[in-house]
Each structure stands twice: as C-alpha cells, then as structure tokens.
A and B are shown apart, each in its own frame.
Chain A
Amino acid sequence: MTRARPKKTGFSLRRACALCLKEMRQILRDPTSLLISIVLPVGLLFIFGFGISLDTNRLSMGIVMEDHGAEAIRFAAAAGGSPYINPVFADTVDEVKDDLKLARLRGVIVIPEDFTAKVLAGRGNATIQVLSDGSEPNTANFVYAYAHGLFESWLADRADALGMSMEGPVTLEPRYWFNPTTISRNYLIPGSISVVMTIIGALLTSLVVAREWERGTMEALLATPVTKTELMLSKALPYYVLAMVATTICVLIAIFIMDVPFRGSIPALLLTSTLFLCSSLGLGLLLSTLTRNQFNAAFAALNAAFLPSILLSGLIFEIASMPVVIQAVTYLIPARYFVKILQTLFQAGDLGAILLPNMVFLVLSATFWFGLTAAKTRRRLDG
C-alpha cells in the first residue's frame, strides 16, 4: 500500500487546544465539577472562617463553693469578672460532676470548705482543686491556665483590698506581632486556601482522568494520534485555570468578607500558587493514572493529598509539636510549604527569607510529581 500520509507524530498545538476546549466544556457542563471546584471551597472557607476557631474564649467552668467565707467569695468574684470563662456556680462537686462528664463544663474549680479559714490563718497551706477533662488535653491546658489566671487576679484583688501592692519586680506584657489580636481566623483562612487548591488540583483532576478510563473515552483517545504531552497538558491546564479562579474567589472572600489582612503582593501570591498547583495537579494525575477508577482515585486523593494538607501541613497542628518521625514526613507534603507561604503573605508580607526556601521546595515537589506522572503515563493500555 502506498498511500501518501503525513507522518507528523510530534506535539500538535491544534490537538492540545481541542482537548483543552473539550475539558473546559465538560467542566462548565458538569454540575459536580463546579460543585467541587467552587461551592465546596467556599463552604470550606466559611467553616474555617467561622466554624473553627482555635481560640477558646469563654470556657464554661464550674466553680464549686464548698466554702462561703469572704475569701471564697472574693475568688468567685474574680471568676465572674473574667472575660475568658463562663462560670457556673455550685455548692457541691456532685452537682457538676455530670456536666463535666457530658462536657457541658470544660473544667471545675473546687474551693474547699476550709479555704477562708486557712487563708486567714496565713500559714500558706490553703488549697483549691482544679478538675479538668484529660481526654481533651488541649482544653485541659486551657482550664489549667485560666484557673491559674483566676488565682492571680484573686491575689491582686486581695492585695488591693488589703492596701498592699502586689507589684513584682517584673511584669510580663505580651504583644503578638503580625497577628496583634491573635485571631486564629487570620492564619487559618490563608492556610485553608491550600486545602482548596488541593481539592481541585488532586481530587478533581484524579476524578476526571479516572472517569475517562471508566467510560471508555480514554481508550478511544489513545487510539487517535494524541501524544502523551498533549494528553497531560489537556488535563493540567484547564484545571489549573479552574483552581486559580477558585483561589481568586477564596482570596477575595477572605480579604473583603472575612477581613483577613493581606500584606503581601499579588504577583507573589500568583507565583507561589502556580508552583503549589503544579505539585497538586501532578499528584492528582499520577493517582488517576495508577488507579483508572473513580472510587479508588478519590480515596487515594483523599488520603495522599487532602488529609495531609489539613493534618500535616501545620495548618491546624503545629509541626514543631509533632513527633520527630511525623515531622520528617511533613517535608514530603507540598502543602506544608504553601501554608507557610500563605500565612507569611497574608500576615507579614513578601518576606523573601521565608518565601524563597519554601518556593524552592515547591519547585522540587512539582518536578517530582510531574516527572513521576510522565514516567507512569503510557500511550498504551498496558504498563
């Protein structure tokens, strides 16, 4: 057979554009992809913004007054005046035991019946008891700290009343830089943008590629002259655009609706987001290439990208307080670097010293995931 056929087998812009256009149309027509890429992220942002707060203001605490003497009442007054706790008064421990059990109260301070007597005796052996729920260590620490605070303010009140000065040689006056009011929203929201990007980059991408395998469209595509590069590009580019749109929406909501300060520059934000998305998209593509099944791809994306982006990125749990082994693992999570970058951009500004090293890691991670995907993507159905 001698039919003249052009033997163009390299990259074709026309094919790449056709595939990207197809992908864009599918995104716009498929309600689930819009749901995952726009509705879910905005919902998540609001949960992070208003639902989750790591500040435990107004902790409900029981104050058990077994003693009704003057000093006990002074202590109770200090509790009533505290802006941090919401006191519930009782006469015996039994009255509040169930509330503590059911976590209606986070802690209980017991003022024993001999409290006033012992204080007045002035032998320094007066005690108060603090009960807290050890199954929630974080809250228990707060309870202890607040109880300690109450004790200090009671001491001050007492000194005041007795006409004595309590001034020690040093007064600690903490000031929190970058987030002066230490509002957790101000660092949670920027960090949560990385979660949003992970959802679109890894979860959505892995779903759409796996869907092509399931519906048999991938087999039909592979039987055309499409090249590997065109195929990967058509999956990465449209979802990159989609993720950037979603990110822009999230940033706007964060700044204008949630009043999160933004001190960095837009170009720095765009650049770092692009770098992070490359890792995320790379991971998503890799997972779907390996699983070829929507259920498995989603499950893998959830475990390999989504959960680490929340749990191991330092967004909610401080990396420094993790066990050493886990800390080592966090270096493999691209979200770790991006969360740091986002928090810096929002709260501190374009600090090259922090941004640059993290960006280097993002580049490495993007290269790694994309490289692996390229190596694992086949032009055939078999390995």
Chain B
Amino acid sequence: MEELAARIDGLSHRYPEQDDGQWALADVALRVREGVITGLAGPDGAGKTTLMRIMAGLLRPTAGKVDVVGLDPVRRAAVLHARVGYMPQKFGLYEDLTVMENLVLYADLRGVVGAERATQFERLLDFTGLRPFMGRLGGNLSGGMKQKLGLACTLVGKPELLLLDEPGVGVDPISRRDLWGMVQSLAEGGMAVVWATAYLDEAERCDALCLMNDGRVIFSGKPEEQRERMRGRCVHVRNIPGNRRHFLRRALGDERVVDGVIQGENVRLVLKEGVGQLDGRLLATAPGAEIVFVEPRLEDAFIDMVGGGPDGRSVLAETMPAVRVGDGVDVDAVISAHELTRKFGDFTAADHVTFNVREGEIFGLLGPNGAGKSTTFRMMCGLLRPTSGEAHVMGIDLKRSAGRARQKLGYMAQKFSLYGNLNVERNLKFFSGIYGLKGQVLEDKMARMLDSFGLDRYRRTVAGELPLGFKQRLALACALMHEPPLLFLDEPTSGVDPVTRREFWMHINALVDKGVTVMVTTHFMDEAEYCDRIALIYRGRMIATGPPDELKRQAADGDLAVPTFEEAFIRLIHRDDMARKSAGGESA
C-alpha cells in the first residue's frame, strides 16, 4: 500500500490583514502520495502558495486538519523542517554566495556533515549539472541554473517531501524540461513531490492532480480522468476560408460551443457535452472547412468546469471606431525594426533584429526570459535608445521623435501598470490626460469605455481592489483611450487564469478587426498561437520568423511530425545552439 506524505482535510485559511472576508483557502482536501508528482494547479491567487506554506509549517491555518509526514506542521514545526524540503517561488538563493557556498550553507543548516555531505554533494552536482559552475556566484547564473541550484539546496538532507512552488516560472522551456526530468526521477526514487504551477500544460504531466480555483479544489484525481471526460468534445477546424478570427467569434456565439481558441491557422473548439458532431449553421459559414477530433487538454477540462469561456462578443470593439493608418504610411511596415541592436556594456541584449509588421496584424515576440524580447520591445516603444539600427512606427523614426511616435501607440505594461490606489475613473482620466484628451471629448470617451467594458459599476472602486478580469479590462481601456492605431502588449496575460486570458484575446481579436495593429511579447506558448506571425528571439538574435504553423513545420522532422508549439520552440532553439557551437568551433 502506498504511503501518504501529506493528508489534509477541511483546511481553510484567511489572512487576518485581509478584511474583505475573502478565504484564501476554503475547505481544501489533499492527499500527497510517495513516489509520484502531485500537481497543484490553478491561476494566480487560487491559493497554491498559501497551501504550500501551510504544508511547510510557515503559516498557521485558520481551520482544518493538516498532517505532513506524520506531523502537525504548527506544533511540530521544528521536526517538520528537517524532513520537508520547500522551495519558495521567489527563490531563496544567496546571489552573493557561490554555488558551493550556497550548498554548504544549506548542508550546515540541515545537519548534513562529514562523509554524508561529500556523497550527497557528489550526487547533487552530477544530478543538476552544476559541477562546472561550483565557484560561480549565484547571481551570475542563468534563470534555469538558479532554479537547479535552488532545487539542489532544497534536496540537501534528503527530504521525504519536496514542495516546489512554481519552479517553472522565469525559466526557459529547455531548463524547464530538464527540471521536470530531475524531479520526475526523484519521484521515481520514492520521494513525495508537490509541484505547484499556473501552467495547465505543466500540470497535465503530473501523476496526480489537485486543480484549484478561488481557494477551492475543483478537481482532485488523475489528469487523464479529466482528459478522458473531454474526449470526443475537442475539435480542430482546419482550412477555414476567410478570416479565422471571424469564424471563432461566430463559433463562440454558438450555444453548442463551450470554448474556442485560435491555434495558428486553425481554430480549436470545445463542444458541449452530448453535442457529438458539429454541423449545420456554423459550418455553413465556412464552406470547405474540415473538422478533426483532437486530443483533449487539461485546459479544456478546466474551462468546462468553470462554466465555459466568454461568448466572443467584444462590446468594446463594437463601439470603437475603425482606425486607419494615415496616408503615406507603408501598410506592410506600420511597425518596422531594421538591424536593431542594443548593447549593455559587453553584453549584446538585442543583436541586429529586423522585422516588419503589417497593418491589422498580430505580431508576437516570443522567447525565454532574458532572451532580449523586452529590450527589443522597449526600443520599439522609444523607451530605450538603440546602440545601432533603426526603429519606425507609422513611418516615424523613434530615434528622432519618440514622443510623436508614442502618441500613435497604446501600451499595456506587464502586470497591468495601473495606479492601485486611484479609482477606475481617475485611472482612465490620468492616462487620457497623458495623451492630451480633455473636456467633452474625454467625458464622451470615458463614458463609452466604462459602458463597453462593463466597468460602470466599478467607477469609484480603487483599481487595486478590482477582480483580476476587471483590472485587465481597465488596463486595456487605459491603453485605448486615445484610440491608437497600434497596440503594444508586454506579457499581457502571464499568470492570468485561462478564462480571463480568453476574454482578453477576444477583445484583441475584435480590435484587430477594426484595423488596430498589435505587437505582443510573450513567453507563453498558448499566447503565441494567437499571433499571425512570430519572431522567435533567443540570446539576443531573431532565430526564426513566420506564422506559428510555419514555425512548427520548420521544426518538424522524422521523429516528430506534428510538434506542439512548445516542442517546436525547443527544437528551434536547440538547432540554433548547435549551429552556434559548430560556427564557434570553426572560427576557433
């Protein structure tokens, strides 16, 4: 019989400093078995970290029964700490200590000394591949390496239960895959592992799953059960004649469709239970389209469980007038970068990046953290001066008149940069003021924004207290007040739950219909699928560019005929690494 490393029942938690009566955890039950990876999945704010901290003995729960490795985490915390390894999300690595010094510190703290230490270090250094970097300062490691060192420090002392809080965040897909492999082998060795994640594709790979939303467990079991439940309900609509975004909107308006997203050239739909086959009205609008049943994903099940995605209509876009680029602007290059290079000292963050974005296109800059996409993005907004090369938006040179160029673009920064202590109305007024809107024009536009985004009832609510979805709407509204022909989005939906993310893209799709051109940075594979074209940025250079499906085809080979976007991404990066290595070898 399998042993339980943690048994939690009826667990509820409320933070005393939060006076809105919100429960961070409500009646949570969880079983963590030895020898498997238990996925703790859910969007930001679902309660994952709170649950992890309670299991690690770092928070006293408000109510409920918690048993971790046979101990009460509150009363027996001291013993528990020696037997449970916890890797927090903001990882506890000392950047000014070397890899070895970090390891030695944790070994001392966990009482691993003498010969035992030597053998454990040997094993961990091999395991993590950190041996060549033993003398390097923690701060000088890449994101992936830091995470591996964090894991190594947590593993010193051979914990019985390993708690990993979003270890995949901020890590490039290759390191993420390595990390997963490492944890997998630990689980196979008998360790109990809890892996918290906001990515449902990551959760899908876990042996056991606890799916959370709003502090509650909405599913607990094997991921396959959920996928099985959705079997026969997920379809790909291929060869869609005409605009696939229009088709998606019509499909979402159909009552038989629960959810739909764009995947490259195709549209992926989830059907209502018992619908069976999609036919009739909807397909009549897309003659020649082909319907193929596809493998269900965990995300499909999640959307289904929380009651389906948005219906596809964007009131915002319906009320917004169509925008047109002015005369004399090249419609094939409303945004253009030419040999754009930015150096920070010896480090080249962006290396001769060249691309053109057509009018009404969604163009994505995709790449792992630290690849140079943010640097490129900032140069395109005129926030950072290029070392060499040129950037134009709407034919305006950003080097010469960044101010005039910025008037043409709406900018939505990462994590919705709103003023948290100003109310909705004031946020809108402030951002409009920046773009020179005032008087009756401002009043009219504001009324329309508030109305079309459904923000009317939140007029006087401070932005910091808005529900996530409304925060996102407000951020978008702020960026759109001056009706810009270009919209720049920086990691617009990272950490956002899948439903809110769909709603966001529904607005973006509708805006594109009105002629708005969108440039977006992302490290999210799902998000990349929404783009018309993608530039893959890796180590400062653009290593591939084209429509998502084209990139997938480029990556495909004998072993893998139809790669997922993530697989394609990893392959293209890998090929680039190989090419650079052999080029380096030749020149040396």
Contacts and interface: CB of A to CB of B under 8 A. Distances in A.
B78 A216 contact: no
Given A14-B113, A223-B86, A225-B82, A216 B92 contact: yes
Contact of A18 (B69, B83, B85, B109): B109
List 9 A-B pairs, minimum CB-CB distance, nearest first.
A220-B92, A216-B90, A18-B108, A9-B78, A223-B86, A217-B92, A219-B88, A224-B109, A225-B81
Contacts of A123: none
B58 A18 contact: no
Contacts of A382: 15-16, 59-60
Interface residues of A, number: 37
B365 to A, nearest CB: 28
Contacts of A9: 78-79
Given A22-B101, A219-B88, A380 B111 contact: no
A225 to B, nearest CB: 5
A30 B94 CA distance: 12
B476 to A, nearest CB: 30
A225 B106 CA distance: 10
B105 interface: yes
Contacts of B3: 1
Interface string B93-129: 1111100010011101111010000000000000000
Given A5-B79, A22-B101, A26-B96, 17 more contacts: A1-B70, A3-B160, A6-B111, A8-B111, A9-B79, A15-B111, A26-B97, A219-B88, A220-B93, A220-B150, A220-B153, A221-B92, A224-B110, A225-B82, A227-B78, A380-B60, A382-B15
Nearest to B87: A220
22 contacts: A1-B69, A3-B160, A5-B83, A14-B111, A18-B105, A18-B108, A26-B94, A26-B97, A30-B96, A219-B88, A220-B93, A220-B153, A220-B154, A221-B109, A222-B58, A223-B81, A223-B84, A224-B82, A225-B110, A226-B109, A380-B57, A381-B53
B78 A380 contact: no
Contacts of B85: 223
Contacts of B16: 382-383
A25 B57 contact: no
A69 B253 CA distance: 107
Nearest to B158: A3
A379 interface: yes
Contacts of A7: 79
Interface string A8-32: 1100101101110110011001100
A7 B43 CA distance: 38
A218 interface: yes
A6 B95 CA distance: 31
B286 interface: no
B293 interface: no
A22 B105 contact: yes
Contact of A380 (B59, B93, B94, B105): B59
Interface in B486-532: none
B89 interface: yes
B111 A219 contact: no
Contacts of A217: 92-94
B29 interface: no
A18 B104 contact: yes
Interface string B6-37: 00000000011000000000000000000000
B70 to A, nearest CB: 6
Interface in A215-263: 215-227
Contacts of A223: 56-58, 81, 84-86, 88, 92
B77 interface: yes
A284 B266 CA distance: 60
Contacts of B377: none
Contacts of A215: 90, 92, 95
A219, A223, A227: residue with the most chain B Cβ atoms closer than 10 Å: A223
Contact of B88 (A1, A3, A25, A216): A216
Interface string B130-174: 000000000000000000001001100000100000000000000
B190 to A, nearest CB: 11
Contacts of B90: 215-216, 219
A379 B77 contact: yes
B91 interface: yes
Nearest to B56: A223
Contacts of B104: 18
A381 B160 contact: no
Contact of B58 (A15, A216, A381): A381
A292 B111 CA distance: 28
Interface in A199-219: 215-219
A29 B140 CA distance: 14
Nearest to A18: B108
Contacts of B160: 1, 3
A303 B82 CA distance: 40
A6 B157 CA distance: 12
B93 A15 contact: no
Given A5-B79, A219-B58, A219-B88, A25 B109 contact: no
Contacts of B70: 1
Nearest to B86: A223
A12 B111 contact: yes
A220 B95 CA distance: 14
Nearest to B153: A220
Contacts of A383: 16
Nearest to A214: B90
A204 to B, nearest CB: 15
B97 A225 contact: no
Nearest to B4: A1
Contacts of B105: 18-19, 21-22
B552 to A, nearest CB: 37
A7 B150 CA distance: 25
A231 to B, nearest CB: 11
A25 B194 CA distance: 33
A215, A225, A383: residue with the most chain B Cβ atoms closer than 10 Å: A225
Contacts of A22: 94, 97, 101, 105
Contacts of A30: 96
Given A22-B94, A382-B60, A216 B89 contact: yes
Contacts of B93: 217, 220
A30 B101 CA distance: 15
Contacts of A224: 81-82, 106, 109-110
B183 to A, nearest CB: 17
A6 B88 CA distance: 25
Nearest to A17: B108
A347 B280 CA distance: 101
Contacts of A219: 58, 88, 90, 92
B109 A380 contact: no
Contacts of B89: 216
Contacts of B82: 5, 224-225
Contacts of B97: 22, 25-26
Contacts of A26: 94, 96-97
Contact of B111 (A216, A225, A379): A225
Contacts of B57: 223, 380
Contacts of A227: 78
A221 B154 CA distance: 10
B58 A29 contact: no
A25 B102 CA distance: 11
A201 B152 CA distance: 34
A215 B105 CA distance: 17
Nearest to B137: A29
B92 to A, nearest CB: 2
A7 B76 CA distance: 10
Contact of B96 (A21, A29, A225, A381): A29
B109 A15 contact: yes
A18 B94 CA distance: 13
Contacts of B86: 220, 223
Nearest to A224: B109
A234 to B, nearest CB: 11
B55 to A, nearest CB: 10
Contacts of A220: 86-88, 91-93, 150, 153-154
